[in-house]
Structure 1
Amino acid sequence: MASDQKLVHATACAVIDKLNAGEVTPLDLLDALEQRIAEVDDKVNALPILCFDRARDRAKALMKKPIGKRGLLAGMPIPIKDLTNVEGVLTTQGSPIYKDNVPARSDIVVEQLEHHGGLIYAKSNTPEFGAGANTFNEVFGATLNPWDLSRSAAGSSGGAAVALATGMAWLAHGTDMGGSLRNPASFCGIVGMRPSIGRVAHSPAAKIDRNLGVHGPMARNVEDLALLLDAMSGEHPADPLSLPLLPASFLSAARSGNKPKRIAYSPDLGITPVDPEVAAITRKAAARFAEAGVIVEEAHPDLREAHECFHVLRAFDFAISKAALLRTKRDQLKPEVIWNIEEGLKLTVEQLERAEAQRVTMSTRTLEFFKTYDLLLAPATIVPPFPIRDRYVAECAGTKFDNYVEWLGIVYAITLVCCPAMSLPCGFTASGLPVGLQVVAPPRGEAQLLAGANVLEDILGLRGTTPIDPRIEPIPHK
């Protein structure tokens, strides 16, 4: 129906306003999404697991409450990344090992979203165990980039990003260790944010204080993303790193109009090659902050140890979380996951000591950097969307990488220094592929990050570029 398509194109904030005004019901939204998924998902493979019956049952229960008492999300449907447990719903982690796994309990982050009136209607596709920034796995296959179906959607929250870009979601959940909320947002022309450690509570697994990976929001624009972050945030006793709610909402921060006084732009953070076209597009976008009276300078903190540090800490994380699978299910693991686990099992205490010290040193330098600059801007990815047939980016601007994650240095360096960061759509390549600008704030600085990003989003004028119908080829931009 025409009304369904109008809903699909509305912003999440506008849809929630309609819910709270009684103009639409949660069931209307589910109907609109189910129709949209039927029309486009066979082309992109973003949402391989659907649970509309569960969502409708919960919608009917929610609708027994008066309008205004249905929570912050008020019946807004949300897909959950297939790394994260949803009670009674197939949760595979993209692995043949878990192809029949139906958890008995949801992750804390899912419980939090449902507490706020969110309706879980789908699981979004992800690489096996979220490893590698290209969304394909042996269970469901590859997720394709809707701007050009021959291209990667990046990862590991690739299914979530594509669902947003094609109108199969208004808001989406994702996770991020080495850019998994930021890379797919960049490749798909939407907004993805890695919050500070502890901002979003989640169920601990393998280690009580793992902090490289976090859960976070994805949306089509900054205000919608802020709204979802409000619904995801808050402390929980089961997550000892979780932070209490702040007095003011993130949506109010995004809408505050507060702008930074001085920002820094770096094309490479001093640690990585970058595609020249990506560097040019992101530099031009960052420079437009000057239109709001913001001082723009080229600078970055000293992050020289990022590659060695992340390689060690990521490998350690894979070892503690996946070593048992290597011992018992090795034949069902993809080569990159096996390599990561084995790298972790070979580590010495001295290597871990060095990596942890490097992280502390880089974090200290970064905090000092933010005494001068309010925000740091850089490319969110160092290349435009690459061919889906390539498992990962093997080289960039004439530099070959040593392993399948090194091309992600521009995002994982920010992970290491504990900063919140988002990918904001900032332009298109000449061939019509999206490019994302990484916007970084000091630790726990989500409010200033959202405010500044919203100011720049206004200046760039790209809000409303999505959703799109999947395309065989991109539309060239001049």
Structure 2
Amino acid sequence: MVNPDISALDLSRAIHLKQVSCQEVMQSTLDRIAQLNPQSNAIVSLQEPELLMAQARERDAQLARGESMGWMHGMPQAIKDLSNVAGLRTTLGSPLMKDFVASEDGLMARRMKAAGAIVIGKTNSPEFGLGSHTFNEVFGPTRNAWDPGKSAGGSSGGAAVALAQRLLPVADGSDFMGSLRNPAGWNHVFGMRPSQGRVPMSPAQDVFIAQLGTEGPMGRHVRDVAMLLSVQAGADPACPLSLTDDPAVFAGALDSDPQGQRIGWLGDLQGYLPMEGGILEVCQSALNSFSGMGCTVDEARLGMPPEQIWQAWLVWRQALVGPRIAPFLVNPANRAHIKPEALWEHDQSLNLTGSQLMAASASRTRFYLSMLALFEQFDVLAIPVSQVWPFDIGLRWPQSVSGRAMDTYHRWMEVVIYATFAGLPSISVPAGFGENGLPMGLALIGKPQGDLALLKLAHAYEMANLDMINRRPPGV
């Protein structure tokens, strides 16, 4: 029996030292999935056990010959159901795609397989990845690891719950509007949105304009997040805007002295963002930990009115999301099989003009420059990862937050757009628990391309808060 609490890095060492076999790891993984996944519904399209055990035997045979494929040798891995894996369904959570089987691997899956991972299936995602609540008509909802009556967040909800329930040692996800950070915060794990261009995404319909979304790593420990990033990152010729830095740097040591680091607390943006009760308090308690580590924490203010940022964001989002839905509407009858939130994105995009997009791009540029100015005062910015606690599993999205009506299906997640819109790295770290017993995350935002420095600070925070961070969900 493999210890389910073992970190991915320690599991890799144990496999390579032959303290545990790949077959034992796979069997333990399948046993836990059989025990816990029927309720949580985190992992979907699970492959046949016989096929997976055969792959595990081959990994053991390779080690017996002195051959290792890499850090993930023999590790079970489930890929988010928005990314292609050869021979597996990529449903996008859509009934229109429920029978689509990919003929080749996407770049991320290809890189993880090359590092030795065994793909056991997929992790659940909302339809087309839209909305920070993982439910769809193909597989149903994924339930929060801490309360099955609550949302897991999204769109990497299946990945976050699989990690929290110890079904996977490490997980991949993707993030457009908080999709790596929100579910991490709601399930008490780490989720990192890398810098724009750090993790190239291929195949892609467009590789020049569509840069708001990115794939990235999730884990129960920061070292695991960094190790997975070392596999996912790195330039690819098919992605001309991908960063050329050597990804091996993320496989190095993360130990550092955080003393003197300046953290800017954005909070609720001076009352602009409505927040449910208790969220700011939990996040501020996490900030106190940074103070205890020798960091300085001061209030930070965006250098641009947040409503202007939101309006520019809406234009960019509609311009990028609408065309993703358009191919499914070539047949008008398909409208009946697409969720209303996706149809809204598509229909809004039809009215956009090139001049509107350029005006929104100019606003985005002003915002980016204002963030650069803010980083002259601070090394890292901090903000809650969500404006609400995990909500009822049957709710599509919060209609209001603290008495303030939400005018779009994603306005309740406005808090996450600032890192995305500026292309900055951001990691959600567990902040603690509310009086409701539910977890909340604190998002740390780093300087441009400052992924490594951000990981080092998050690692120092983890080491200072191990008892809280190692807390397990009920029944796990």
Q: 1:237 to 1:248 in 2, by over 3 A?
A: closer
Contact 1:269 1:410 in 2 (8 A): no
CA distance in 2, matches of 1:467, 1:36: 14
CA distance in 1, matches of 2:70, 2:193: 24
Question: Is 1:40 aligned to residue 55 of structure 2?
Answer: no
1:57 is displaced (CA, Å) by: 4.2
Hey, what does 1:129 align to over in structure 2? Answer: 128
- Say which SS state the counterpart of residue 144 (structure 1) adopts: coil
2:470 aligned residue (453, 460, 464): 464
Question: Is 1:268 aligned to residue 268 of structure 2?
Answer: yes
After TM superposition, the structure 1 stretch with the greater mean CA deviation from structure 2, 297-306 or 389-398, is: 297-306
1:396 is displaced (CA, Å) by: 1.2
Write the mapping of 1:104-183 to structure 2, written as runs, cut at 5 A: 104-183=103-182
1:59 is displaced (CA, Å) by: 3.4
Write the mapping of 1:167-316 to structure 2, written as runs, cut at 5 A: 167-209=166-208, 210-246=210-246, 249-258=249-258, 261-270=261-270, 271-303=272-304, 304=306, 305-316=308-319
CA distance in 1, matches of 2:473, 2:9: 15
1:62 is displaced (CA, Å) by: 3.5
CA distance in 1, matches of 2:355, 2:475: 52
1:12 aligned residue (8, 13, 16): 8
Hey, what does 1:476 align to over in structure 2? Answer: none
Deviations 1:329-364 (A, max 9, x none): 222110000000111111122221111111111111
Matched to 1:459, the amino acid is A
Deviations 1:178-229 (A, max 9, x none): 0000010011111111001111122142212211100001111211111111
CA distance in 2, matches of 1:222, 1:370: 23
CA distance in 2, matches of 1:401, 1:302: 24
- Say which SS state the counterpart of residue 9 (structure 1) adopts: coil
CA distance in 1, matches of 2:10, 2:88: 29
Contact 1:426 1:460 in 2 (8 A): no
1:59 aligned residue (53, 56, 60): 56
Hey, what does 2:26 align to over in structure 1? Answer: 30
Contact 1:135 1:154 in 2 (8 A): yes
- Say which SS state the counterpart of residue 254 (structure 1) adopts: coil
Contact 1:310 1:413 in 2 (8 A): no
1:468 is displaced (CA, Å) by: 4.8
Q: 1:258 to 1:62 in 2, by over 3 A?
A: farther
- Say which SS state the counterpart of residue 414 (structure 1) adopts: helix
- Say which SS state the counterpart of residue 336 (structure 1) adopts: helix
CA distance in 2, matches of 1:43, 1:289: 36
Matched to 1:398, the amino acid is G
1:34 is displaced (CA, Å) by: 0.4
CA distance in 1, matches of 2:396, 2:246: 40
Matched to 2:27, the amino acid is D
Contact 1:199 1:234 in 2 (8 A): yes
After TM superposition, the structure 1 stretch with the greater mean CA deviation from structure 2, 455-464 or 148-157, is: 455-464
CA distance in 1, matches of 2:87, 2:417: 33
1:357 aligned residue (359, 362, 366): 362
CA distance in 2, matches of 1:410, 1:224: 26
Q: 1:12 to 1:259 in 2, by over 3 A?
A: farther
- Say which SS state the counterpart of residue 455 (structure 1) adopts: helix
Q: 1:301 to 1:138 in 2, by over 3 A?
A: same
1:266 is displaced (CA, Å) by: 1.7
Q: 1:314 to 1:204 in 2, by over 3 A?
A: farther
Deviations 1:405-442 (A, max 9, x none): 11111112220011110111111011100010111101
Contact 1:208 1:240 in 2 (8 A): yes
Contact 1:285 1:460 in 2 (8 A): no
Which ranges in structure 1 are unaligned for 5 or more consecutive residues? Answer: 471-478
Q: 1:155 to 1:60 in 2, by over 3 A?
A: same
Q: 1:255 to 1:56 in 2, by over 3 A?
A: farther
Matched to 2:220, the amino acid is R
Hey, what does 1:433 align to over in structure 2? Answer: 438
Matched to 1:296, the amino acid is V
1:377 is displaced (CA, Å) by: 0.8
Q: How high is the sequence identity, in percent, across the aligned residues?
A: 35
CA distance in 2, matches of 1:263, 1:172: 28
Question: Is 1:320 aligned to residue 348 of structure 2?
Answer: no
Deviations 1:52-86 (A, max 9, x none): 45544443443343456321222222111001110
Hey, what does 1:377 align to over in structure 2? Answer: 382
Q: 1:362 to 1:204 in 2, by over 3 A?
A: farther
Contact 2:256 2:460 in 1 (8 A): no
1:412 aligned residue (411, 417, 427): 417
Matched to 1:297, the amino acid is D
Matched to 1:273, the amino acid is P
CA distance in 2, matches of 1:239, 1:29: 35
Contact 1:165 1:468 in 2 (8 A): no
TM-score, length of structure 2 as denominator length: 0.94
Matched to 1:312, the amino acid is V
Q: 1:366 to 1:95 in 2, by over 3 A?
A: same
1:272 is displaced (CA, Å) by: 1.5
Deviations 1:429-471 (A, max 9, x none): 111000101111012111111111111222233232236536x
Q: 1:69 to 1:414 in 2, by over 3 A?
A: same
CA distance in 2, matches of 1:253, 1:311: 39
CA distance in 2, matches of 1:413, 1:371: 17
TM-score, length of structure 1 as denominator length: 0.94
After TM superposition, the structure 1 stretch with the greater mean CA deviation from structure 2, 102-111 or 404-413, is: 404-413
CA distance in 2, matches of 1:247, 1:48: 30
